[in-house]
Amino acid sequence: MAQRAKATRYHDLDYVLLALIQAHPKISGYQLRGIINESTGYFFHAHLSQIYPSLKQLTADGFIVFDEVAREGKPDLKLYSITPAGTEAVHGWLVKPFEFKATRENEDSYFMKLILMGSLELEEIETYIDSGIEAFGTRARRLAAGDLGLELDFISDIDQLAYQRFHAIWNHELDFMVHEAKARVSWLKSLKKSLRGVS
Amino acid sequence: MAQRAKATRYHDLDYVLLALIQAHPKISGYQLRGIINESTGYFFHAHLSQIYPSLKQLTADGFIVFDEVAREGKPDLKLYSITPAGTEAVHGWLVKPFEFKATRENEDSYFMKLILMGSLELEEIETYIDSGIEAFGTRARRLAAGDLGLELDFISDIDQLAYQRFHAIWNHELDFMVHEAKARVSWLKSLKKSLRGVS
DNA sequence: TACCTCATGTAAAGCGTTACATGATTCG
DNA sequence: CGAATCATGTAACGCTTTACATGAGGTA
């Protein structure tokens, strides 16, 4: 029985690295961390101790290759570039329909992925944006309808003033979430227009 | 040499549980999960396998106590209530100045904590809100000034159209982040007014 | 002199998710 | 009849963060 290597499970980090290497060939792991944490750090961040093993794996899988630059008294500098297999892998990830969940991390993943889509076809980007318009629109409608979100029923046995304050804060928070979801929809719509202007 | 127990490190979950038990005495771990995941789930969520050990620890530390309700063929129902020591602990956590960082998780922690502040004094809540107004205001100003945020310098060696698309998306994203930070400031300001109306 | 940046990497500790164990009742 | 909800808890697994190891050069 042929021994097949245990299938590697790729994470967002793997694809983010692949996309960044594609946008900027001959880049080091250290530089990649800089870009991830400075430019996309609000949505996504990674440590070198995650990046190095990931690059190792991606190299072993033939998605990237590196040139080694010897430097005196310092560890060799490894400058990575993407391979055709790597290009295919990122593309596959980018066009794979996004799975929406009602959490902040999930929404941030959506925006992270969008940031990396510059080299796709316009149609592909628009399909992705449309999926976001639908998801955030649905969310805004549900929140506004009170189907989900903040409920105060559980508060009991505390004084009336505290109850009213909880109420004021939670209601306000709910309004804000609705507002935010709506703002995202209109943001995505205006991005679509901008991209049409570019093509 | 007296053997001192290794100091327990408390996490946000511990305080969230404490605050929710305070707002709703005689509550079970299972019910707490429901409240956390349904009402605050967008900002914060927890599994039962985290909640049960946390409640155990909080009980051992004297912050909460429970009544055991026997049920036929089912595990005993444990209904928790907060102790004076527990009340003091949550209060200390709530009034401890919030440490702002430039990540989404950190911002969500800020809003999570705010949600639990209903039983504080108005002044304490306002101090907390003011710290948020300052932090998000500074963030909005910095982003708008281009001091931090998205930089495209790293993109190279790719075709002109892709570059322009990256540019369009990233600039748009930056605008959105500025907008969002400003929206938070005005949201916090209007919350302050609402709370004054309640007192 | 002490610290930060560059540059690669491994090891251990900590935290979060999934799976397991048990079992009654209700809903589709 | 299977799945979900209620209800408590432990164990294993996996991912994330911090610490360690090495070392040059520049800055405060």
Q: What is the pLDDT of residues B90-130, one digit of tens each?
A: 999 999 999 999 899 999 999 999 999 999 999 999 999 99
pLDDT of residue B151: 61
Q: Which residues pair with A78 in a beta bridge?
A: A68
pLDDT of residue A151: 61
pLDDT of residue B7: 73
Tens-place pLDDT, residues A6-58: 578 899 999 999 999 999 999 999 999 999 998 888 889 999 999 999 999 99
CB spacing of B104 vs A157 below 8 angstroms = no
Q: Nearest-CA distance from B94 to chain A in Å?
A: 14
Tens-place pLDDT, residues B151-196: 666 676 568 888 889 989 988 999 999 999 999 999 999 999 999 9
Measure the CA–CA gap between A5 and B137, rounded to whole angstroms. 52
Measure the CA–CA gap between A25 and B158, rounded to whole angstroms. 9
H-run or E-run covering B98: none
Q: Nearest-CA distance from A1 to chain B in Å?
A: 40
Measure the CA–CA gap between B160 and B169, rounded to whole angstroms. 14
Q: Is the pLDDT of residue A107 over 90?
A: yes
Contact B140, A177 (CB under 8 A): no
- Residue B2 banded pLDDT, cuts 50, 70, 90: very low
| Stronger pLDDT, B82 or B197, i.e. the higher one | B82
Task: Considering only CA atoms, name the residue closest to the C1' of nucleotide D8.
Answer: B75
Contacting residues of B for A102, CB less than 8 Å apart:
41-42
pLDDT of residue A2: 40
Q: Is the pLDDT of residue B4 over 90?
A: no
Measure the CA–CA gap between B148 and B153, rounded to whole angstroms. 13
CB spacing of B172 vs A150 below 8 angstroms = no
Tokens of B71: 């049920």
Nearest to A35 by CA among B66, B159, B149, B52: B149
CB burial class (10 A; 0-12, 13-18, 19+) of residue B4? exposed
Nucleotide with C1' nearest the A74 CA: D23
Global confidence as pTM: 0.92
Contact A76, A148 (CB under 8 A): no
Mean pLDDT, to the nearest integer, of A148-173? Answer: 77
pLDDT of residue B137: 97
pLDDT of residue A1: 39
Q: What percent of chain B has pLDDT over 70?
A: 90
CB spacing of B157 vs A25 below 8 angstroms = yes
- Residue B39 banded pLDDT, cuts 50, 70, 90: confident
Least confident of A84-98, A134-148, B17-31, B46-60: A134-148
Other Cβ atoms within 10 Å of A139 Cβ, number: 23
Q: Is the pLDDT of residue A192 over 90?
A: yes
Strands (E), A48-179: 64-71, 74-82
Largest CA distance in chain B: 72
Least confident of A15-29, B2-16, B19-33: B2-16
Residues B106-133: b if buried by 16+ CB within 10 A, e if exposed: ebbbbbbbbbbbbbbeeeebeebbebbb
Tokens of B175: 């605008």
Shortest CA distance from A196: residue in chain B: B165
Most confident residue range from A154-158, A160-164, B70-74: A160-164
Q: Nearest-CA distance from B163 to chain A in Å?
A: 7
